[in-house]
Amino acid sequence: MLENYLEVKDSVRRALAEGRPVVALESTIISHGMPYPQNVETARKVEQIIREHGAEPATIAIIGGKIKVGLSDSELEYLGRSGKVVKTSRRDIPFVIAGKADGATTVAATMIIAALAKIKVFVTGGIGGVHRGAQQTMDISADLEELAHTNVAVVCAGAKSILDLALTLEYLETRGVPVVGYRTDELPAFYTRKSGFEVDYRVDSLPELAAAVKAKWELGLNGGLVIANPIPEEYQMDGDVINKAIEAALAEAEKEKISGKELTPYLLAKIKDITGGDSLSSNVQLIYNNAAVGADLAVELA
């Protein structure tokens, strides 16, 4: 039944069949996270980094109603250029498929599809979370619920700093999701290495991290893990600069009445404009860094 919906790229299929490491990648970063052509260039470079570290990349998307686990170069280009790709989370998957539409998968949707394909490690920029003002709006990313019950380890630079990080951590704690700092005691805040919030556990070696991931799932403790990997120091932004940019972008979003799935892409684009492109440069570098750590973790697990 699953083969009716899932199309696995040959190189990914072979790697999985042979027990070799595979790393899942999302596609909203291509269609909704960055401008063309930088989005496609970044996606290609991320895949290259993963291969250089000994794993097989599997960028996930829905094209023409078919779930793709691993994209060709032309499909990456298509996603980056097309302006008609649906930002696809859990609730959207069946409708994008039924409508034979194109969908770029969020963290939540990528986790679901990675788990269906039996891929254990997923690399992204930053996870979604509890939005600022959620006490009134109830705007909480579906990423957090997916982390609560889908067995995929998510390597990221923490939660996006446009969010309420304190409430995001509280939500993850309630749902039993470990937030693991890779070589850090503090939750990274996407563009910066510091947030002021401690992680649940610090792990300094990949063998130790892989052992914890393995033990979690072999004990039947279902759900994902947040592997928080700080942006390299030389690429992080000044905390005051980025926080002022975020506040200005949030004010603009409120003025324009932007909400729901459009909010995060709007804020990231607005922050890029306010910072003169510096935030986008940091975003690209943290993804490259996550790709290297995610590939190394996948190799260790394999």
Active-site residues, by number, are 26, 160
N- to C-terminal Cα distance for the chain?
27
d(CA 164, CA 131): 5
Residue 17: closest CA among 9, 25, 29: 9
Place of tokens 């990914």: 12
CA distance 172 to 207: 24
Helix axes 278-301, 206-218, angle to 10 degrees: 70
Within the chain, residue ranges assigned H as helices are 10-17, 28-31, 38-52, 73-81, 93-98, 107-116, 134-137, 142-149, 165-174, 206-218, 239-255, 263-274, 278-301
Amino acid at 203: V
Residue length of the chain: 302
Cα 204–chain centre separation: 22
- Show the beta-strand stretches assigned E in 119-235: 121-123, 153-156, 179-182, 201-203, 225-228
- The CA–CA distances, whole Å, from 89 to 7, 172, 204, 208 equal 18, 18, 32, 32
User: Beta 153-156 vs 121-123: how paired, if at all?
Assistant: parallel
Beta strands at 103-105 and 56-63: parallel, antiparallel or unpaired: antiparallel
